[in-house]
Structure 1
Amino acid sequence: MNISNYADLLTTARQQPEPQRLLFVFTQPELPEGHTAAQNQGFHAGTGGVLTPQMCTDKALDELGDFSDLVEESRQMGQDWKIVFVACLAGRAGVMPSTEEAQAHLKTMVNSIQNGTISKYLAYDRDGDLVQFS
């Protein structure tokens, strides 16, 4: 499975044997508490900081359009963000996971992001470009 953009993600999710609900956590970079001068300098140069969750949501595949639709919907929520993390939650026996079921998984995503454990999620910037972290 090679996902290089948001459209690939949606295509791949639609090809799965079980229905998929997508989970989104929108984040904004911030300086950590007790940051050093070097961290401050890197942050202001656009290369540092911690990603702080601002809002999250879940969507069934049939509720999703292209990436610009996702950006517009998030803009209407009034929260600024720079990176969105995405995960898929698979259904069982042909049944789509409910929004209620997704809440525990969203909470896990938020906690993982706050702890810097992000390797299992896809990440996109506001332009819809896939972001790789080193």
Structure 2
Amino acid sequence: MNIESYADLIRAAGIQDEPQRLLFVFAKAELPNGYTDTQKNNFEQGQGGALAPVLCVDKLPDEVVEFSTLVAESEKTGIDWDIAFVSAIAGRGSFAPNSDEASQPLKMMTEKIQGGMIADFLTFNKAGDLVALY
């Protein structure tokens, strides 16, 4: 299935052989260390920058059918973010993974994002639109 929206992601999670748990790492755009004047100017115009993970959570697809639910929950933390990175882990024996089982994959996801290795993740902006990062 080609995922072109958040709704597609939820549908895809629902048709897998094993129940899924979705992993979300929220990141905030910031200037990279040792930035140049050009990078600063671009950043101030909404372009470029580095994405720093600021918040993570795991959810069952049924808990976040609408992206707006996820955004509303994140707002309660008081932590601002720009991009949500999303991945999933599969359960076993018809049981979805629990939050404890999601802990290590979330940590690895965060480390990959910090290292700029983001190709394995879907990325959404706060409006719930799928975005491509380069």
TM (normalized to structure 2)? 0.97
Identity value in percent: 49
State the one-letter code of the partner of 1:115.
G
1:3 matched residue in structure 2: 3
Between the aligned partners of 1:30 and 1:115, the Cα distance in structure 2 is 15
Unpaired runs of 5+ residues, structure 1, are none
Please give the alpha-carbon distance, in whole angstroms, between the structure 1 residues aligned to 2:14 and 2:65.
13
2:101 aligned partner: 101
Partner of 2:92: 92
Please tell me the residue identity of whatever aligns with 1:132. Answer: A
| Alpha-carbon shift at residue 48 of structure 1 (Å) | 0.9
Q: Do the aligned residues in 1 keep the contact of 2:10 with 2:65 (CA within 8 Å)?
A: no
Matched residue type, 1:106: L
**C-alpha deviation, 1:10, in angstroms:** 0.2
Secondary structure at 1:22 match in 2? strand
Equivalent residue, structure 1, for 2:30: 30
Tell me the equivalent position of 2:119: 119
Deviations 1:4-58 (A, max 9, x none): 1101100010000100000000111000111111111111111111001110000
> Which region of structure 1 is more displaced relative to structure 2, 89-98 or 16-25?
89-98
Unaligned runs of 5+ in 2: none
Counterpart residue type for residue 90 of structure 2: A
How many residues are aligned here? 134
Instruction: For residue 107 of structure 2, give the secondary structure of its aligned residue in structure 1.
Output: helix
Aligned alpha-carbon RMSD (Å): 0.8
Q: Tell me the secondary structure at the aligned position of residue 86 of structure 1.
A: strand
Distance (Å, rounded) in 2 between the aligned partners of 1:99 and 1:70: 16
Confirm or deny: 8 A CA contact 2:20 2:60 kept in the other structure.
yes
Tell me the equivalent position of 2:42.
42
Deviation of the 1:62 alpha carbon: 2.2
Structure 1 runs of 4+ aligned residues shifted over 6 Å read none
